[in-house]
Amino acid sequence: MEHKHTYDAFGNQTCCTQQEKIYSNAGAKDLLKVRHNKNDGHYHGIQYKKELDHGIAMKHSENDGHEHTVGKQSTFQIFLPSIISFVLLMAAIVFDNWVPQTWFTGWIRIAWYVAAYSPVGFPVIKEAIEAMGKGEIFSEFLLMSIATIGAFAINEYPEAVAVMLFYAVGEVFQTLAVTRAKANIKSLLDQRPDEVSILIDNQTKIVKAETVNIGDIIQLKSGEKLGLDGELMSDTASFNTAALTGESNPDTKAKGNTVLAGMINLNTVAQVKVTAEYTDSKLSKILEMVQEATAQKAPTELFIRKFAKIYTPIVVLLAILITAAPYFL
């Protein structure tokens, strides 16, 4: 079927856009789906906010086969498997080198190192199996599994546990970084209300912020956040602009001054004439830039991932040949 371009009500093309190509090339197709629905080209911040509120994970890679989620886990709970593995590993090293124990030999020693390996190693092996089930055979999980299981095979138990432990700790830090980024985006979304009060025939009516038109009058009570950019119609009003500028001191605006979405009205009731649509506010632009920055990969990372598709199979093949060669030569 021949593809037909689609356009929104303003004549803007909503498919095959440069932005869509950027997102697809950067491996951010899921975020692109959040930003667009089936028929329009508008930014849907409310839907993205709902997904963040429900703890939907942000994928940190297009091809890694797993997601980073923290949910309601504390930092201690996230680090607990690594802590257990580290304690068991250090105890085993002490028994091996500094305080030898007569009982710490044979199967007991092997079982101890396997116990140290299990909290950090088995999840990675599981990820490797699941990735292979999805057709992603040569993944980082497979490499880590081969390296550590191979170390066990040649009786280098401490090295096997240590390598997997370091990898697990790195993954935990990456998870925390992704979660912090998600929390920052959610915090930014919270600065913009989903509903606003507009004046219609001198009567206030609460409506969805994205349905407000340019020229409508928003009435802000004391303590309310402004949902769209506009022009102050009241004589004066004081606003808390910390969400946008980081400045804690109130900013007093006079009639005709520009006020931005995210500002909080501090004192009297104020009226603001909308001068920009919901998706065109300064706060929306900031949010869009933040989301694009978290979704797109750096050129170096893209190059490394392309290189890894060639490098990984070669490394696996060499490992198999080195292991099997002595039996045939």
Q: Which residues of 161-170 are buried (b: 16+ CB within 10 A; e: fewer)?
A: bbbbbebbbe
pLDDT per residue over 29-74, tens digit each? 444 444 444 344 444 444 444 444 444 334 444 444 444 445 567 8
CA distance 99 to 88: 15
* pLDDT-based confidence at residue 175 (cuts at 50, 70, 90): confident
- For position 261, what pLDDT does the model report? 87
Encoded amino acid at 24, one letter? S
**Reduced 3-state DSSP string for the chain:** CCCCCCECCCCCECCCCHHHHHHHHCCCHHHHHHHCCCCCCCCCHHHHHHHHHCCCCECCCCCCCCCECCCCCCHHHHHHHHHHHHHHHHHHHHHHHHCCCCCCCHHHHHHHHHHHHHHHHHHHHHHHHHHHHCCCCCCHHHHHHHHHHHHHHCCCHHHHHHHHHHHHHHHHHHHHHHHHHHHHHHHHHHCCCCEEEEEECCEEEEEEHHHCCCCCEEEECCCCECCCCEEECCCEEEEECHHHHCCCCCEEEECCCEECCCCEECCCCEEEEECCCHHHCHHHHHHHHHHHHHHCCCHHHHHHHHHHHHHHHHHHHHHHHHHHHHHHC
Q: Give the residue among 151, 94, 143 at the shortest CA–CA distance from 117.
A: 151
The model carries a pTM of: 0.59
- Would you list the domain boundaries of the chain? 1-42, 58-192, 195-280, 298-329
Q: What is the mean pLDDT of residues 222-230?
A: 91
Encoded amino acid at 150, one letter? G
Instruction: Name which of 109-113, 151-155, 314-318 the model is least confident about.
Output: 314-318
**Share of residues in the chain with pLDDT > 70 (%):** 74
- For position 112, what pLDDT does the model report? 97
275 pLDDT exceeds 70?
Answer: yes
Residues 261 and 229: beta-carbon distance below 8 Å: yes
CA distance 132 to 82: 25
More confident residue, 172 or 242: 172
What does residue 253 show for φ and ψ, rounded to 5 degrees? -110, 145
- For position 188, what pLDDT does the model report? 66
Third-level CATH fold of 195-280: 2.70.150
pLDDT per residue over 89-106, tens digit each? 999 999 999 999 999 999
CA distance 5 to 297: 28
Residue at token pair 């022009």:
231
- For position 287, what pLDDT does the model report? 76
- For position 307, what pLDDT does the model report? 81
Q: What is the mean pLDDT of residues 280-290?
A: 79
CB atoms within 10 A of CB 86: 19
Q: Counting Cβ atoms within 10 Å, is residue 231 exposed (0-12), middle (13-18) or buried (19+)?
A: middle
